[in-house]
Amino acid sequence: MSAWFRAPRLLGTRPLGTRLPGTRLPGTRLLSTLLLGITLLGTTLLGTLHLGGCASSPPASPPTADPATARKTTSGPLVGYVDEHGVHTWLGIPFAQAPVGQLRWQAPRPPLPWTERREALGFGAECIQFAGPVGSEAEPGSVVGSEDCLFLNIFAPARGPSEGDPRSPGLPVMVWIHGGGNTVGSARPYNGSALARQERVIVVTLQYRLGVFGWLSHPGLRPPGTSALDGSGNYGTLDLIRGLEWVRDEIAVFGGDPDRVTVFGESAGGTNVLSLLLAPPARGLFHRAISESGSLSSVARVKAEDYADAEAKGHARSSGELLVDLLQADGGAKGRADAQAKLAGWPPAEVGEYLRGKSPEQLMALFDGEGLAGMYWVPQVIRDGAVIPHGEPLEVLRSGAFPRVPVILGTNRDEVKLFAMMGTEHVTRAFGIPLWLNDERAYQLETEFPSRMWKVRGVDDPARAMVGFAPGQVFAYRFDWDEERKLGFADLSKMVGAGHAVEIPFVFGGLNLGGRGKYFFDSDRLPAAEALSRAIMSYWAEFARSGDPGGGTSGTLPRWQAWDATGPNGVRMMILDTPADGGLRMSRESVTREGVLAEIASDPRFLGTPERCEVYRSLAQRGDSLSRAEYAAVLDGGCAAYPLADWVAD
């Protein structure tokens, strides 16, 4: 989710990052219905935040090993099961050794081999994280998961007559990277069965280390003799690379083509897809890439390590700051200055030993209560020079230092509405549950421009940077579907609209939402939504098959053209929507950062300077859209009465 989840304010709202109260709702029918609806939002739309199921409900009974799924990998023999739709499924396959002990904060190692047949019938443990407010039996905010979490899952259609022949080409492979701000989430919610069955592709979902376990850079973790990868700090990124290496080496025995691998992911998963495009160790491991609601973001190593009061002004949650907090928490130092003095005298190996001696609970206690739905903020995608290049991501793309693979970049039209409705003053809430909009105009303004800026960062800027080096290989979309139903007085089409994560059930063919679709989809408009889902799946699969979404698998859909920057008549993106709102169609629209900032200044819907300043302020406090100096200059300095948080960059 990049930095968007930590925005402190939107048009005068309370902080979006504050934890929602856990009060139980009274047992009235109306509020119970609303709770079901909001739980649905949490468990499906926020599936990217690991709050529950995405595409389908769990099996009614534990699956049974099926001999038809027996496979022999280089690590050992496996057997999976055949689901109710005939899809061959393997769950919880280890693709790396457990990153525990000395392997904590090191590059992942290949899995240890086994000799007895392993039954791959259940998901592996999720990675260490905070439990979210819904979708988990654990108390919200408690630490859940395991460090032994590097598992993947495979969904494959039953083999055709020729697919068992090792000489025949395998099926396209689509490797899904889950979202959740890189601090929460798992592969468990994403059922690839429908996509595999309908489009005859192999779907792989995998997990990676999260938060402080996935991204932590400090000299104490790279003492003399440490390899560049072990000392990179980008352990979550390296987990993804190890998973792709496993796919390269093993997927053929599951019917997949190791030379047609597509990485795709949403939110933080989309950001991780873009980071893989930048990462030299990932070269050759994938051949197409799809980023859904991702963004180009990274952190300089000095920011990830230095103290916040150092000359370089390190990140507020840098490894240096975390060590200061740890020393004080365990009684090893009396105050910040004492902690810094003691750390200055520790040799690197001693720092690493100290960190590895901390339990997951002790490390996670440093972040308790910091973010929305269990998320918290750590420097991530660290520019170490080995896994992630030193330069700013956009500048790296502009230099042409990326693999020439076909890419789809996309966002949802109303990205930030899903988060804004949980904190804005323009939505009436009871017990933390959004009930209805009380000011539709103001709500639209506070969400529209940040959503457009998300598109600048995740689609238009990277597309413009890449297309000169890869003409005909960059495709873009905007997901516009907003036909949700009403729940009581809550009009979800306006409160959520084409919000963050809404496209996920469409991509995975799971509009039933595990039997809860009736709380989200209007029955009269459901057939059109199902048709849109089939179209999206078709485009995604054809892209995985050929590197060009074209007219979808059948060739009968409107042709999706590549990004064309040759003048004002060049097409830029495919709009994904139902016929009631214009249908599938190409658009010439493109957005720029400067254009969005100018639109805020001139849009007549604002009632005055305070409202405009609040939108500018929200962009500045979201991380990378507006610097402190730029904010001071907007509206000729008219926003001076609305100061920024002190952590906003200069």
Q: Which pLDDT value is given to residue 43?
A: 43
> Cβ(294)–Cβ(270) under 8 Å?
yes
Q: Which pLDDT value is given to residue 183?
A: 96
Domain map (residue ranges) of the chain: 68-297, 301-374, 605-637
Q: CA-CA distance, 102 to 228, in Å (whole number)?
A: 16
Mean pLDDT for the chain? 89
Q: CA-CA distance, 291 to 177, in Å (whole number)?
A: 10
Tell me the pTM: 0.92
Closest CA to 512 of 533, 494, 498: 533
Measured CA distances, 511 to 9, 83, 414, 530, 543 (Å): 32, 18, 19, 7, 22
Helix (H) or strand (E) holding 231: none
Q: Which pLDDT value is given to residue 514?
A: 76
Helix (H) or strand (E) holding 195: helix 193-199
Helix (H) or strand (E) holding 326: helix 319-329
Question: Cα(first)–Cα(last) distance of the chain, in Å?
Answer: 23
> Cβ(112)–Cβ(76) under 8 Å?
no
Residues that are catalytic: 267, 415, 500
Cβ neighbours of residue 609 under 8 Å, at least 6 residues apart? 635, 638, 639
Helix (H) or strand (E) holding 400: none
The pLDDT tens digits of the residues spanning 500-522 come to: 999 999 999 999 887 788 888 98
Closest CA to 123 of 160, 161, 149: 149
Q: Which pLDDT value is given to residue 70?
A: 97
* 647 backbone dihedrals φ, ψ, rounded to 5°: -90, -5
What percent of the residues of the chain are helix, what percent strand, and what percent coil, each to the nearest 5? Answer: 35, 15, 50
Rg, C-alpha atoms of the chain: 24
Closest CA to 478 of 615, 621, 581: 581
Q: Which residues of the chain have pLDDT under 50?
A: 1-40, 42-53, 55-57
The pLDDT tens digits of the residues spanning 514-560 come to: 778 888 898 999 999 999 999 999 999 999 999 999 999 999 999 99
Cβ neighbours of residue 187 under 8 Å, at least 6 residues apart? 123, 151, 152, 153, 176, 178, 205, 206, 207
> Cβ(1)–Cβ(48) under 8 Å?
yes
Helix (H) or strand (E) holding 447: helix 440-455
Closest CA to 88 of 74, 68, 72, 73: 68
Overall fold of domain 68-297? Rossmann fold (3.40.50)
